[in-house]
Structure 1
Amino acid sequence: MSINVQSERTRDFWRSSLIAASRTALACIIVGCITLYGPTSIKKQVAFPAFAYVAMILIVTNATLGDTIRGLWLSFYATLQTVCPAILCLWIMGPTRLTTASTSLVLAIASFFIALPKSTHVVAKRIALGQLVIIYVVGYINAEQIHPIMHPVHVAASTAVGALACFLAMLLPFPHLASSQVKTNSKLFAENATERLKLYVKAFCAEDTTSSQALISQAKCLSVKAKKFIQCIKSKQESMQWERFLIKFFRPYCKNPGDRFQEIETPLKGMEIALSNSQVPVTIFGEELKDGMDRIEGEISQNLHQLRKHMPCETPTTVPESTNGHVMNFLQKLEILPSNDKDLPSYFFFFCMKLLHSQSRAMTIHPNPQKIDKQTPQTQAQQHPSNHNKKHPDGLSLSWILANWATSLNKERLLIALNCSLSLGFAVLVGLYYSKPNGFWSGLPVAVSFAAAREATFKVTNVKFQGTVIGNVYGVLGCFIFERFVQIRFIALLPWFIFTSFLQQSKMYGQAGAVSAVIGAILILGRRNFGPPSDFAIARIVETFIGLFCSIIIDILLQPTRAASLAKIHLTKTLGALHTAFSSIDLLTMSKAELLETTKSIKIHLNELGKFVGEAEAEPNFWFLPFHTQGYNKLMGIFTKMSDLLVFVAHANGILEEQIRRLDMMGFKDELDRINVDVKHVGNVIANSMKSFQEIACIKSMLVLEKDLTKSGKTYDIELGKPSKDPRLDEKEIAKNINVFLDHLKEVFEKIELHEDETEMKSQIVMSFSAIGFCLSSLMKETKEVEKGIKELVQWENPTSNVNLHEISCKIHALYD
């Protein structure tokens, strides 16, 4: 079976890569046919075929039909931003008045205003910056031959040819729709979820630890694939918005299918967490309970089977019969509270299974009606598809422009725009001084590789330069092989597109290196009137090196703070977000939505931390201490798990909201307050630990801390440290807190008298409170793991010191209290 799965994955990998390569090759051939064999009137207007290829690559990479429709709009918007002002500028100044310095200055100023707006899509910015280089630098190089109005028009025509070629390549021989990819990945995810559910249930019912661990390992392998399916679905959601005008007559439109599948993924992840903490065989497991689990597992599988046939926003042809009776029978077996903390993982498994049942059935019966776009065609025609995500301009009105600029004026955006401006200006300045005829090649790589956020400078620059070199070498070899067959040299590009499609998925080069390699090859094989290929390739390599070198220097000057330092800063911010989340936990006053909002804040900080960790990993050490990637990755994994556990607390609280109100009306307010106090106490214990970890992570080094403490003249006594200042937790304290919570829960249930028809209410309360208890226990255990991770990082930064977190915490409080 594993061999068949592996061969299927290999076939899918080859199929997707070949499809992407063939679409790119088709777009390239369309550009070549227009620029080399098209009518003279068209070829005269497309005076820069090289830039037509560049625009084509910027749009067609990993594109679907929706992406190319968006690319048409973005290229049009970019052209309006550059061509209209350039015509006015060249008409007033005159190309003959341009000098090397003035050309670089005008280019730097124009690129600053192109890069500044936050809402403009990065593809539009890259196209616009590339157009600026061609307009001004080539205008200066060939000042005596160009017309101040027709020259920018020729650049616009070249851009239009590249964009149109992408659109045609996605239509022929059949449309390459994002919605089709989403539907395919939706089916694959539903199959994956069904298989994992079966494995989890078998692992839970296993009679020995060995077989249970084997089943869990199989499910973990499938969970990695499930993440890829969801990522693919989410990445195509924006493209689907652009396709909705074409597919709205055939099927309903769903804006966020990835979010709906994430709702299915969450309880499956919880089941995996429960199994990793449960003991096998499960002591509370009986034949009746096993039969109920089998029934619910079958019902969930049936619901997921419907999702394999239909996307989550489509109405299924058949709706599964109501199976609430089976659920009721299953819940009635869970009226007894867990006797101790060892039973909590099993109850949490039941909770996740019930949650999965509810969500899968909701997706099947209610096909996301609130997320189906119900606008009329007239309303849709008046609104732009980007109204929902605001990632790119949705109009050219004065009010939108003013609003766009108002949101752009912040420090981060100004720094990015200044970086782009100086990098492009100095690259062109140095490139023109080195070789005026080839000076624009130093600015073009910088322009078309513009990044809207901070990148791993040295790594990205390295792969871009390597990609350019190997692309140029391949282009020269292609020209040599087809020296006598110039008219059919496009054949040489087909194997190159296949190779770079695989190169793009490699860790070594990625998309930046692959795109540079593609552009490097097609600009030689698709060029005309540039002299011998070998001379042209060498000139391009030198100019590209000049441009990328200038970009590195500007990055270092404008962003001197190392990524490793920024990763440490964001580590403390993440710990601060966790402290805020745990200190605010309150089951009686906080709603499910409020709890989920706190987890979103944690995930935002985690995403930022992950970006800087990835950049720091690729950053050269020079004379610095090597970055401890493994330690940071370990902590991010723990933080992610803690965030997931908070999500389950929110779901359990959402179920309890109505039940707590009913219990409150029944006169159990004091008992509920007592349980809530237990929950808040555990939250405060974890929050205090996170606060201490944050303070410890902020110190520069232990030597600096000792010096500051000596200068202040203050002393500390580790034996007199307050318990709240000690970030350490032990197993006894964890078990004590959870057992107190369970004892108070039992006291409440001993007093509750419910009618026979309220059995489901009682079982839901049992499951929800048990799930909260399990999450609190797991969160305290994860806090212990955070303690180990922080200690490891501090030890890494202070290799000659003996690290004691409690002692460090006492010194910090003695210094600042």
Structure 2
Amino acid sequence: MILSLLTLHVIGPEHFTSRVAALAVAVCSFVVALPESTHLMTKRIAFGQLVIVFVSTVIHGAQIGVVMHPIQVASSTTLGAIASVLAMLFPYPRLAYYETRKFYRLYNENASERLNCNLEAITASDNSTSVGLSTQAKSLTTVGAKLLQSIRSNMIGMQWESPLRRIFNPHSIDLEEKLQDLEIPIRGMNIALSSCTSFSVGVIDEELRGVLLNCREKLSQKLDQKSKCFAPSDATTIAESKKEILNKNLTIAYKDLPTSFFLYCLQLLLDELPIAKKTDHMVEKTRKTRKIREFVLNFMPSNHNLAFAFKCSLSLGLAVLFGLMYNKEKGYWSGLTIAISFVTGRQPIFSVANARGQGTAMGSIYGILCCFILQRFGDLKFLSLLPWIVFCSFLRHSRMYGQAGGISAVIGALLILGRKHYGPPTEFAVARITEATIGLICFIMVEILSRPSRASTLVKYELSQSLRTLQDCIGGIPTTIPSQRDMPSSSSQALRDGHTKLKSLVYRLEEFAAEAESEPNFWFVPFHSACHSKMLESLSRMLDILLFVAYSMEQVTRLSQKEGVCGVDFQDRVKENIDLFKNRVGNTLKCLEEIIRMKSLRKLENDLKNKNLPCDIESGEYPNADAYRTLSGNEEVDSITGSFRKLLEEMANKTHTSKDEEMLKGQLLFHYSCLGFCTNSLMRETLKIESEAKELLIWENASTEVNLKQIYCKISSLRSE
């Protein structure tokens, strides 16, 4: 409203033309979109108000008031805000706190069912029953992920309700942290179950089976208590069960690593240990960094926000200009259609524009039909909106239309059924659909010009970056035990920092992959969604495994500093084994990163011809063929894991004179067995990514023979020149 008042006062309503209005909308929209601290919803409302005020000024000219019209528009917006608040409170309040509590209760019930399935699967007497329960746990995991997403979405709204939350719930908890501490061990159990082809009776005996079933009942009671109280449980830990699990692991650790890892995750749940929690000094450092960053951003807009402001300004300016040129009286709708559709990040522009266009058409047609049917009962036509709103609520959650299409369908019907004195409904609907199409075309053109890179191209780049960061994470796994003067967590802090970076890259990769899957291919090679989905699944699993690696190494560091627990010779042999694992996996990831990062095989061959590099004609290999040192297959993985299991067996058979040393040995063996399983899983997931990368190259180069070793040698030869 302030920008509208200033613009109308400086220019004057009588001097407003289509070009002046478009320029005013563009400049004011840039000013609105520039501050990074302003909420996106606030910016969308401001965009819509600017379009309404300036287009109305073009239509009515000097008749419109400089002050009264912007105030009337702002008042209408205020009434809409009040209506939305009332709709949230009646017939029952739907505050974010209550919604989060409801989803939290459902999530705890889901987690309890997943735990039951996992524990029943590992204690099953036959393999078919175990596989069936594991499959059921996977389907429950999908539901749990959706519940977690709903909780995170509602937690944003809880920030606005924090004063009330402090009054009515003074014992509030860090819900995000609690959910993560519960979710990660359960996902670890799923990884352990998926790594087992069958569970032999000799691994899970009757005594251990009874302990696990007893833990199942205790954990279920604990989760039920959490879901009812919406607060951390005060139930005492099961000391006897934990001790029995620890003792049983002495004979299981070197025989069956997946079962040992399953028990490790169960122990984390019993202890309620924060496996993903950052250390205090890192939390303090992050808090200070965030404050400094927020202070700087308040005075200096980022490049990302400058690009967003420019995109909004150009899109709205062009939409208003062409909308007024086509139909001066209905010029609102070209700008208003896209004013509420801006997002700060990327979105599938063609899919969103298509959904908005179809939603606008469906809503307009529904409004026309209702006006025709209820033409004798003009006052009752507004009631026909109710079933349409219910229907559009399903459209909002559909894959085909989504939120953009559902909202456009509601607005399309609302504008026809909820207005008076605007002429024949059919004429208004056709004019509005045309104006909306003009706005969407402007939106698409500006989006294409502002981000010419396709989503599938960005998927390739993000995948190579993820593999590079994953390589750094694995290379950062500590292999030496620091002295007592060092901080216990300093040796694995680099791994946790790398994990945080990798997590953000994987999330971005998932977003780009979803966008690439929903967008048209045009003349490009179709996007191989199945292949990328499998690689994403492997990367997500490796993300979880790296957390267990960081935690287990921190505990190994803490326990190994105590005298008499583990000899220097044993530590050196473990170091050799981990170094071998890091070397083989790191080289594989490095080769895959280079191969995925190349633009195309055709360009690679052309570059080789232009460079005229030497090649052995008989073997077809380049001089640096030895640079390709990767995992040879599952046999090498079994060999590396087997040597590690021998070390665990030696440690398990080593006797100590005191009970304290024997207890420390059991704890150390527990963490080492976790490390052994994690290294095995990381190697196998790397092989899966390698297989999918080869399939992707075959998909993109159907007429060319694909050999990863030859491709990497060619890339390496070009790089060395």
Provide closer, same or farther for how the CA distance between residues 760 and 487 of structure 1 changes in structure 2, counting only shifts above 3 A: farther
The reply on whether 1:480 has 2:386 as its aligned counterpart is no
Instruction: Please name the residue that 2:485 is paired with.
Output: none
Instruction: Please name the residue that 1:537 is paired with.
Output: 429
The reply on whether 1:808 has 2:711 as its aligned counterpart is yes
Aligned residue pairs total 697
* Match of residue 35, structure 2, among 110, 117, 135: 117
* Match of residue 119, structure 2, among 183, 193, 201: 201
Partner-residue secondary structure (3-state), 1:284: coil
* Match of residue 106, structure 1, among 4, 18, 24: 24
Q: Comparing 748-757 with 349-358, which one deviates more in the overlay?
A: 748-757
Instruction: Please name the residue that 2:571 is paired with.
Output: 672
Instruction: Please name the residue that 2:486 is paired with.
Output: none
CA distance in 1, matches of 2:112, 2:531: 34
* TM-aligned CA deviation for residue 754 of structure 1: 5.4
Provide closer, same or farther for how the CA distance between residues 811 and 400 of structure 1 changes in structure 2, counting only shifts above 3 A: closer
Structure 2: gaps of 5 or more residues: 281-286, 483-489
Partner-residue secondary structure (3-state), 1:288: helix
The reply on whether 1:576 has 2:468 as its aligned counterpart is yes
* Match of residue 512, structure 1, among 404, 414, 419: 404
Provide closer, same or farther for how the CA distance between residues 570 and 330 of structure 1 changes in structure 2, counting only shifts above 3 A: closer
The reply on whether 1:471 has 2:363 as its aligned counterpart is yes
CA distance in 1, matches of 2:267, 2:128: 26
Q: Which amino acid aligns with 1:329?
A: E
* TM-aligned CA deviation for residue 418 of structure 1: 1.6
Instruction: Please name the residue that 2:257 is paired with.
Output: 344
Provide closer, same or farther for how the CA distance between residues 172 and 507 of structure 1 changes in structure 2, counting only shifts above 3 A: same
* Match of residue 638, structure 1, among 526, 535, 538: 538
* TM-aligned CA deviation for residue 601 of structure 1: 1.3
* TM-aligned CA deviation for residue 575 of structure 1: 1.2
Q: Which amino acid aligns with 2:301?
A: S
Q: Can you list the C-alpha shifts for 1:678-701, whole angstroms capped at 9, x where unaligned?
A: 223312321211111010012222
Instruction: Please name the residue that 2:487 is paired with.
Output: none
Instruction: Please name the residue that 2:220 is paired with.
Output: 301
Q: Comparing 179-188 with 566-575, which one deviates more in the overlay?
A: 179-188
Q: Can you list the C-alpha shifts for 1:727-749, whole angstroms capped at 9, x where unaligned?
A: 44312211221222233444556
The reply on whether 1:603 has 2:506 as its aligned counterpart is no
CA distance in 2, matches of 1:359, 1:643: 20
* TM-aligned CA deviation for residue 85 of structure 1: 2.2
Normalised by the size of structure 2, how large is the TM-score? 0.91
Contact 1:469 1:517 in 2 (8 A): yes
Q: Comparing 117-126 with 104-113, which one deviates more in the overlay?
A: 117-126
Instruction: Please name the residue that 1:211 is paired with.
Output: 129
Q: Which amino acid aligns with 2:67?
A: I
Q: Can you list the C-alpha shifts for 1:371-421, whole angstroms capped at 9, x where unaligned?
A: xxxxxxxxxxxxxxxx9999xxx9xxxx999854545231x3222222211
Contact 1:267 1:356 in 2 (8 A): yes
* Match of residue 203, structure 2, among 275, 284, 299: 284
Contact 1:727 1:787 in 2 (8 A): no
Contact 1:467 1:517 in 2 (8 A): yes
The reply on whether 1:725 has 2:628 as its aligned counterpart is yes
Provide closer, same or farther for how the CA distance between residues 549 and 100 of structure 1 changes in structure 2, counting only shifts above 3 A: same
CA distance in 1, matches of 2:718, 2:499: 33
* TM-aligned CA deviation for residue 628 of structure 1: 1.2
Contact 1:126 1:447 in 2 (8 A): yes
The reply on whether 1:490 has 2:382 as its aligned counterpart is yes
Q: Which amino acid aligns with 2:535?
A: L
* TM-aligned CA deviation for residue 112 of structure 1: 1.6
Instruction: Please name the residue that 1:165 is paired with.
Output: 83
Q: Which amino acid aligns with 1:606?
A: V
Alignment of 1:262-661 (within 5 A): 262-278=180-196, 279-312=198-231, 319-336=234-251, 338-339=253-254, 343-359=256-272, 403-404=296-297, 406-410=299-303, 412-587=304-479, 588=481, 591=491, 593-661=493-561
Provide closer, same or farther for how the CA distance between residues 437 and 719 of structure 1 changes in structure 2, counting only shifts above 3 A: closer
Identity of aligned residues (%): 38
Contact 1:299 1:357 in 2 (8 A): no
Instruction: Please name the residue that 1:29 is paired with.
Output: none
Alignment of 1:734-773 (within 5 A): 734-747=637-650, 753=656, 755-773=658-676
* TM-aligned CA deviation for residue 720 of structure 1: 6.2
Q: Which amino acid aligns with 1:694?
A: E
Q: Which amino acid aligns with 2:554?
A: G
Instruction: Please name the residue that 1:86 is paired with.
Output: 4
Contact 2:641 2:676 in 1 (8 A): yes
Contact 1:282 1:346 in 2 (8 A): no
Alignment of 1:229-244 (within 5 A): 229-244=147-162
Partner-residue secondary structure (3-state), 1:144: helix
CA distance in 2, matches of 1:441, 1:295: 64
Instruction: Please name the residue that 1:711 is paired with.
Output: 610
Provide closer, same or farther for how the CA distance between residues 800 and 667 of structure 1 changes in structure 2, counting only shifts above 3 A: closer
Contact 1:131 1:155 in 2 (8 A): yes
CA distance in 1, matches of 2:53, 2:226: 52
* TM-aligned CA deviation for residue 667 of structure 1: 7.2
CA distance in 1, matches of 2:74, 2:657: 76
Provide closer, same or farther for how the CA distance between residues 493 and 337 of structure 1 changes in structure 2, counting only shifts above 3 A: closer
Q: Can you list the C-alpha shifts for 1:443-478, whole angstroms capped at 9, x where unaligned?
A: 111111112112111110000011011111112222
Contact 2:337 2:440 in 1 (8 A): yes
* TM-aligned CA deviation for residue 809 of structure 1: 1.0
* Match of residue 781, structure 1, among 678, 684, 688: 684
Provide closer, same or farther for how the CA distance between residues 568 and 187 of structure 1 changes in structure 2, counting only shifts above 3 A: same
Partner-residue secondary structure (3-state), 2:167: coil
Instruction: Please name the residue that 1:143 is paired with.
Output: 61
Q: Can you list the C-alpha shifts for 1:412-436, whole angstroms capped at 9, x where unaligned?
A: 3222222211111111111111111
* TM-aligned CA deviation for residue 591 of structure 1: 4.5
Partner-residue secondary structure (3-state), 1:252: coil
Contact 2:584 2:629 in 1 (8 A): no
* TM-aligned CA deviation for residue 721 of structure 1: 4.8
The reply on whether 1:799 has 2:702 as its aligned counterpart is yes
* TM-aligned CA deviation for residue 219 of structure 1: 1.4
Q: Can you list the C-alpha shifts for 1:758-789, whole angstroms capped at 9, x where unaligned?
A: 44322221111111101101111111101111
CA distance in 1, matches of 2:369, 2:695: 52
Partner-residue secondary structure (3-state), 2:703: coil
Q: Which amino acid aligns with 1:326?
A: S
CA distance in 1, matches of 2:668, 2:623: 42
Provide closer, same or farther for how the CA distance between residues 610 and 339 of structure 1 changes in structure 2, counting only shifts above 3 A: closer
Q: Comparing 610-619 with 508-517, which one deviates more in the overlay?
A: 610-619
Provide closer, same or farther for how the CA distance between residues 550 and 602 of structure 1 changes in structure 2, counting only shifts above 3 A: same
Provide closer, same or farther for how the CA distance between residues 145 and 282 of structure 1 changes in structure 2, counting only shifts above 3 A: farther
Contact 2:261 2:677 in 1 (8 A): yes
RMSD: 2.6
* TM-aligned CA deviation for residue 267 of structure 1: 1.0
Q: Can you list the C-alpha shifts for 1:705-743, whole angstroms capped at 9, x where unaligned?
A: 122122222234548656552344312211221222233
* TM-aligned CA deviation for residue 651 of structure 1: 2.5
Provide closer, same or farther for how the CA distance between residues 813 and 117 of structure 1 changes in structure 2, counting only shifts above 3 A: same
Q: Which amino acid aligns with 1:551?
A: F
Partner-residue secondary structure (3-state), 2:168: coil
Q: Comparing 776-785 with 223-232, which one deviates more in the overlay?
A: 223-232
Structure 1: gaps of 5 or more residues: 1-82, 364-369, 371-386
CA distance in 1, matches of 2:417, 2:306: 38
Partner-residue secondary structure (3-state), 1:143: helix
Contact 1:337 1:746 in 2 (8 A): no
CA distance in 2, matches of 1:528, 1:603: 53
CA distance in 2, matches of 1:280, 1:451: 49
Contact 2:53 2:70 in 1 (8 A): yes
